[in-house]
C-alpha cells in the first residue's frame, strides 16, 4: 500500500499577492485522511472553507481563482503544484487575503515550506484517478488532452511570437524525474509591453523582477536571466500540475498541452470529471509516481 501524506507540523509565511499587490499571510497545517486540500479563507470576520476542487473555480484570468459566495482566493496554482509535486494528499491552507502570496514566482518556496514542516505518513492508502480513455480540448491553435498511461507524464509546447519562446517543448515523466529539480524553480513570466495594460485591468499590481521573469522584445530583463534554458515552458508545466490537482486526486495518465493556460486546463478537468467513463478512483497499491510524489519521506525532526 502507498499511504496518504499530510504535513507533520504547522508552518507559516507571508508575502505579496501578484495581482492584488496586498500583503498576505499563509499557514499550512496537517489534515485528516481523505480530506484533501482545503483552503480556509478569512473573510469578513469569518472563516470560509473552500476545497481545492474544480467545482470551486470562479476565474481563470491570468491565474486560477477559487471561490465560495463572495470569498475568493486567487493564484492557488503554484502552491497546489508544490503539494502535488511532493505527494501531499491532505492539508489545510489558511489565507487571510484574496490571493496566495506569489513568493519568487515559482513553487520552490512552497516546496521549502512543506519540507520544513515535514511530511507525515497517514494510515490509509493513497487514492488516485486512473485515466481510462482520452479526453481532449481544442480552441483554435490551442489544445490539450489527457489520456491513459503508466505513471504520470506532462508534455507542453510553448510557442509565442518572441525569439526566446518559439516552439519550445518539454516533457517530464514524474516516475523517473524529480519535481523539485525539473519544475519547481521555474518562475511565472510576462512581457514588458503588457504590464501597463494588466495593471490598468487591476492585475499584476504586485508584480516585479523579484517575482516574475520579464522580457522585452528580445531578451530577459532580470539580472541573471533564466534559471533553466527553457524556464518558461517548465513554468507552464508547473501551472498545469496545479490546475490538474483540482481534479481532487493525483492522476495516473499523461497530459499534453499546446499553447494552453489556466482557462483551457480548467475546461479539460471539468470535461474529464463529467465523463465518468474516462476514469476510476482506486487505491495506489504500488508506486507509479516514484520519488517525491509517493516515496516514503525521510524522518523529520521537530
Q: Report the catalytic residues.
A: 262
Q: How far apart are CA 19 and CA 217, in angstroms?
A: 23
Read off the C-alpha cell for 147: 489520456
What is the phi/psi pair of residue 245, to 5°?
A: -60, -20
Q: How far apart are CA 27 and CA 119, in angstroms?
A: 15
Q: How far apart are CA 125 and CA 2, in angstroms?
A: 6
Closest CA to 74 of 60, 90, 53, 92: 60
Q: How far apart are CA 83 and CA 107, in angstroms?
A: 9
Q: How far apart are CA 228 and CA 187, in angstroms?
A: 10
Closest CA to 152 of 271, 257, 241, 36: 241
Pairing of strands 251-258, 127-131: parallel
Please state, in angstroms and as integers, the Cα–Cα distance from residue 75 to each residue in 20, 103, 150, 152, 290, following that order: 10, 11, 30, 24, 27
Contact 293, 179 (CB under 8 A): yes
Helices (H) and strands (E) in the chain, counts: 6, 19
Report the SS3 class of residue 180.
helix
Q: How far apart are CA 287 and CA 270, in angstroms?
A: 27
Amino acid at each position: 500500500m502507498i499511504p496518504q501524506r499530510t504535513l507533520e507540523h504547522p508552518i507559516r509565511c507571508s508575502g505579496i499577492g501578484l495581482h492584488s499587490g496586498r500583503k498576505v499571510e499563509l499557514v499550512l497545517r496537517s489534515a485528516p485522511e481523505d480530506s484533501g486540500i482545503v483552503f480556509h479563507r478569512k473573510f469578513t470576520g469569518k472563516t470560509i472553507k473552500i476545497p481545492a476542487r474544480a467545482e470551486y473555480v470562479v476565474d481563470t484570468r491570468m491565474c486560477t481563482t477559487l471561490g465560495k459566495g463572495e470569498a475568493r482566493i486567487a493564484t492557488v496554482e503554484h502552491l497546489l503544484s508544490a503539494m502535488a509535486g511532493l505527494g501531499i494528499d491532505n492539508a489545510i491552507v489558511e489565507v487571510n487575503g484574496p490571493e496566495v502570496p506569489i513568493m519568487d514566482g515559482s513553487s520552490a518556496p512552497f516546496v521549502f515550506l512543506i519540507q520544513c514542516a515535514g511530511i507525515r505518513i497517514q494510515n490509509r492508502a493513497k487514492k488516485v484517478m486512473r485515466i481510462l480513455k482520452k479526453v481532449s480540448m481544442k480552441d483554435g491553435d490551442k489544445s490539450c488532452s489527457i489520456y491513459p498511461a503508466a505513471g504520470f507524464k506532462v508534455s507542453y509546447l510553448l510557442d509565442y511570437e518572441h525569439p526566446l519562446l518559439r516552439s519550445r517543448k518539454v516533457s517530464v515523466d514524474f516516475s523517473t524525474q524529480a519535481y523539485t529539480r525539473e519544475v519547481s524553480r521555474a518562475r511565472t513570466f510576462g512581457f514588458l509591453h503588457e504590464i501597463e495594460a494588466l495593471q490598468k485591468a487591476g492585475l499584476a499590481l504586485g508584480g516585479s523582477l523579484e517575482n516574475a521573469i520579464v522580457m522585452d522584445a528580445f531578451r530577459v530583463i532580470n539580472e541573471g536571466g533564466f534559471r533553466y534554458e527553457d524556464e518558461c515552458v517548465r513554468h507552464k508545466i508547473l501551472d498545469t500540475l496545479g490546475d490538474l490537482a483540482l481534479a481532487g486526486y493525483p492522476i495516473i495518465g499523461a497530459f499534453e498541452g499546446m499553447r494552453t493556460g489556466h482557462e483551457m486546463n480548467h475546461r479539460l478537468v471539468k470535461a474529464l470529471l463529467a465523463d465518468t467513463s474516462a476514469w476510476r478512483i482506486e487505491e495506489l497499491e504500488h508506486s507509479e509516481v516514484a520519488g517525491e510524489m509517493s516515496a516514503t519521506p525521510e524522518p523529520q525532526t521537530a
